[in-house]
Amino acid sequence: MAQKLKKIALVASLALATIFLALQAQAQDKMPAVLPANWDNVLNEARGQTVYFNAWGGDPKINAFLEWLSGVARSRYDIHLQHVKLAATSDAVARVRSEMRENERDNGSVDLLWINGENFAMMKSGNMLFGPFAEQLPNFKYVDRIGKPATLKDFTQATDGYESPWAMAQLVFEYDPQFVPTVPKNSTELLAWITKNPGRFTYPQPPDYLGTTFLKQILYEVISDRVVLQSPATQAIYEKETAKLWQWLDAAHPFMWRQGQGFPASESALAQLLADSEVAISFSFNPGRASAEISAGNLNPNIRSFVFENGTIGNVSFVAIPLNSKNKFGSLVISNLLLDPLVQARAQDPAILGFMTVLDIKSLNLEDQAAFSQLDLGVATLAPDLLGKSLLEPDVSWMSMIAQDWQKRYGVLK
């Protein structure tokens, strides 16, 4: 066995060495960088680079976390991490596409991109991504690829190493027990609660990602066969399977906040409605959000969380490197840093972000395991074993078609 392992290691080493030699040979032709065999070479090449990390800028806690990460990158690796705050990921994707059309092959303005879902599928199919690189990152060995298979799939699309996971999320409902003495176990019970408590529930206006996630969650609840959501939606199947979704919304909207004639614009706007006690049930893709907001003094200490009995949608946040990134080596180092166990533990701390880790805790050394076990998840955070089943994101076609239909049916309401 030992001899066999040595042989496998030798073959892998030779393969990586070949890649590095190819990189050197291609350098004169301005070809995209490829991960070298020796990680020290990556670190040396990355030193002094400024990595423009394009990521959503709508959450002050995420912004603060990335500012902290920038300090770590600078002190450890002499890399300058610049957070380019996005209102929408599609803005950065459009910039990459425009630059590549202008033949900016190695001088792009986007070095690293927080991406998933439809944007990833489009960039991957359009040959706009550098890679594969993820599985060659030193810290990728800690990723829980078996227990958390979504780390290798993005909205049913195989990542194939073109993006690296860094955080897990699952839809959880947040509620005020004063108005919700018994939590709804499914969409039928939620609808019943909404009709009995007018004005106390709403969701972000599609195409906001959290708003469309809520629509997909209700679809999961009312659909006749959940399996079809893992395949592209044909028009016939889509119309059949979404009929009950529109029936549910038609029944719920008159009893929602503003009688369903207006919707909060974003996740943060929905969160503020809960903080102001305008709504009694809200939801988030971050199981630790409520505890974090309680800890910060922004939310009623009585707020708690629940999930549906048949599961809620979960997904993974990824980072990807555009093919025309100017600072690929620095981007590789930041991608690896995001998988550092201590960075992951900090992100899971509800007082910081409350994100779920993508790592297999059992694979870590005892010191790093302790960093997770010592975390106080907070009073409103469900224990991992109480989160229930994490439902895979549907194929991206379902999200696109549902968002378009919502606009046609309910208009762009203000």
Distances (CA, A) of 217 to 45, 172, 186, 312: 45, 11, 10, 7
Query: What is the DSSP secondary-structure string of 102-117?
Result: TT-SS-BS-SEEEE-T
Q: Does the pTM exceed 0.85? A: no
Does residue 114 sit in the same domain as residue 137?
yes
Count the neighbouring beta carbons within 10 Å of the beta carbon of residue 199. 14
- Residue 66 domain flag: yes
The mean pLDDT value for 345-356 works out to 89
pLDDT in tens, 255-292: 999 999 999 999 999 999 999 999 999 999 989 889 98
Among all chains, which residue has been given the structure tokens 């979504």?
A: 150
Does residue 62 sit in the same domain as residue 194?
no
pLDDT in tens, 402-411: 999 999 999 7
Count the neighbouring beta carbons within 10 Å of the beta carbon of residue 225. 8
Does 360 have pLDDT greater than 90?
yes
Does 25 have pLDDT greater than 80?
no
Among all chains, which residue has been given the structure tokens 């555009």?
A: 322
Does residue 237 sit in the same domain as residue 211?
yes
pLDDT in tens, 223-252: 989 999 999 999 999 999 999 999 999 999
> Would you state the pLDDT for residue 209?
86
Does 37 have pLDDT greater than 80?
no
Asked if 168 contacts 356 with a C-beta cutoff of 8 angstroms, the reply is yes
For the stretch 102-110, contacts whose Cβ atoms lie closer than 8 Å and that sit 24 or more positions apart, written own/partner, are 104/324, 105/30, 105/32, 105/323, 105/324, 106/30, 106/32, 106/324, 106/325, 106/326, 107/324, 107/326, 108/322, 108/323, 108/324, 108/325, 108/326, 109/52, 109/326, 110/52, 110/54, 110/84, 110/322, 110/325
Buried-state track 119-134, b at ≥16 Cβ within 10 A, e below 16: bbbebbeeebbbbebb
> Would you state the pLDDT for residue 226?
93
> Which of the pair, 212 or 3, is modelled with greater confidence?
212
For the chain, the domain total comes to 2
Does residue 98 sit in the same domain as residue 201?
no
pLDDT > 70 in the chain, percent: 90
Does residue 404 sit in the same domain as residue 352?
no
Does 3 have pLDDT greater than 60?
no
- Residue 384 domain flag: no
Does residue 321 sit in the same domain as residue 225?
no
pLDDT in tens, 294-333: 988 999 999 999 999 999 998 899 999 999 999 999 999 9
As a whole number of angstroms, the distance between CA 258 and CA 198 comes to 9
Q: Max Cα separation, the chain?
A: 70
Tell me the residue range of the domain where 239 lies: 172-314+389-410
Does residue 309 sit in the same domain as residue 320?
no
Band (412; pLDDT cuts 50, 70, 90): low
> Would you state the pLDDT for residue 383?
84
Does residue 189 sit in the same domain as residue 206?
yes
Does residue 163 sit in the same domain as residue 183?
no
